[in-house]
A = this chain, B = another copy of it.
Amino acid sequence: MSSLLHAEILEQPGAVRRLLDAQAEHVAEIARRIAAKDVRFVVIAGRGTSDNAARYGQYLFGARNGWTVALATPSLFTLYRRPPRMPGALVIGISQSGQSPDVASVVAEARAQGSPTVAITNDARSPLANAAEYVVDLNAGDERSVAATKTYTAELTALAMLSLALSGDAQRTGDLETIPELLRTALGSEPAARAAAEKMKAHDRCVVLGRGFEYATAFEIALKIQELSYVQAEPYSSADFRHGPIAMIAPGFPIVLVAVGRAVRDEIAELRATLRERSASLVVLGDDEAMRDPSDSWIPVPAGAPDWLTPLVSVVPGQLLAYHLAIARGTDPDQPRSLRKVTRTR
């Protein structure tokens, strides 16, 4: 248990608390300046874990701010040198290290075009931070393990703070204040996550399903499983999954189902029934004991956050699942093969 990764998973309640305290005023000031512009839509650039944070941003800025969000296509800026025009766009670059040239290129181009730009990064002196007009420093402290955990929850928190400040809905600030405590509760899911990992460990493949706000969570849990345990974990929205990939499911196929949030509950319950008919082996991350069934593995997710904040909490049991899957399969969670902490892609 002397793993760096495990220690960083445990740091998350404190890291989010620190970010809320350190950056609330600064984010409010950024929001005031952006609100003076005519924002019509949002563009977000990120890779890997930060791209999953961007996926959360799609639902967050859509549901809470009424903006359509496009995930950037960096190759148009770099390899093809044909960046789109971005009049009316708020452009956000997300990167723990701030080092990847493709993400910085999107932000630099948008700034040159006159669009408001925000960097969300753990290094306020990085190329990405330098490229952007505004910087939100994650203040997460050094992340020493290769796989990102505390910087992911910090990135989601920064996006939620920015969305909240831009919405002008100050009475929701209290919702954000509950997150550190919910994160602490979520860490209590570790025994259940360890048990589910035992059930999954013999399989080389799985699927991770979520919908709506929890679409991002499904992607991030799948990425952690791949990086840490080398199990091929493929994420889908429950709707996309029905349009083709469900054909793969044979009896015993392991499926991680993120069953969090009121709006998607019926949808997820129907999908679970379909998957049961196909005798899939289910691990359910759920926030409602009424969804619990003895034939599944159940990993509890603390209830209490509003829909737009559940992804800040629900990823934690998934991180613990991925960690224990690595331990159960004998891989080193602190040093995944083929990866370095900073990845530079163009």
Q: Is B226's CB under 8 angstroms from A80's CB?
A: no
Range of interface residues on A (Cβ < 8 Å): 35 or more
Bound CA span A271–B100, Å: 16
Please name 16 pairs of A and B residues whose Cβ atoms are closer than 8 Å in the assembled complex, sorted by A. A41-B41, A48-B240, A59-B76, A66-B82, A69-B73, A73-B212, A74-B239, A75-B212, A75-B215, A80-B307, A204-B205, A223-B245, A234-B234, A243-B345, A247-B336, A247-B339
Interface string of A65-107 (1 = CB under 8 A from B): 0111111111110011011111111000000000010100000
The verdict on A144 contacting chain B, using a C-beta distance below 8 Å, is: no
Other-chain residue from B40, B242, B278, B336 in contact with A41 (beta carbon distance below 8 A) = B40
The verdict on A185 contacting chain B, using a C-beta distance below 8 Å, is: no
Bound CA span A204–B84, Å: 39
The verdict on A3 contacting chain B, using a C-beta distance below 8 Å, is: no
Other-chain residue from B61, B67, B70 in contact with A69 (beta carbon distance below 8 A) = B70
Residues of B within 8 A of A147 (CB): 244
Q: Is A47's CB under 8 angstroms from B243's CB?
A: yes
The verdict on A24 contacting chain B, using a C-beta distance below 8 Å, is: no
Other-chain residue from B62, B240, B243, B248 in contact with A232 (beta carbon distance below 8 A) = B248
Bound CA span A231–B245, Å: 10
Interface string of A29-41 (1 = CB under 8 A from B): 0000000000011
Q: Is B246's CB under 8 angstroms from A338's CB?
A: yes
The verdict on A249 contacting chain B, using a C-beta distance below 8 Å, is: yes
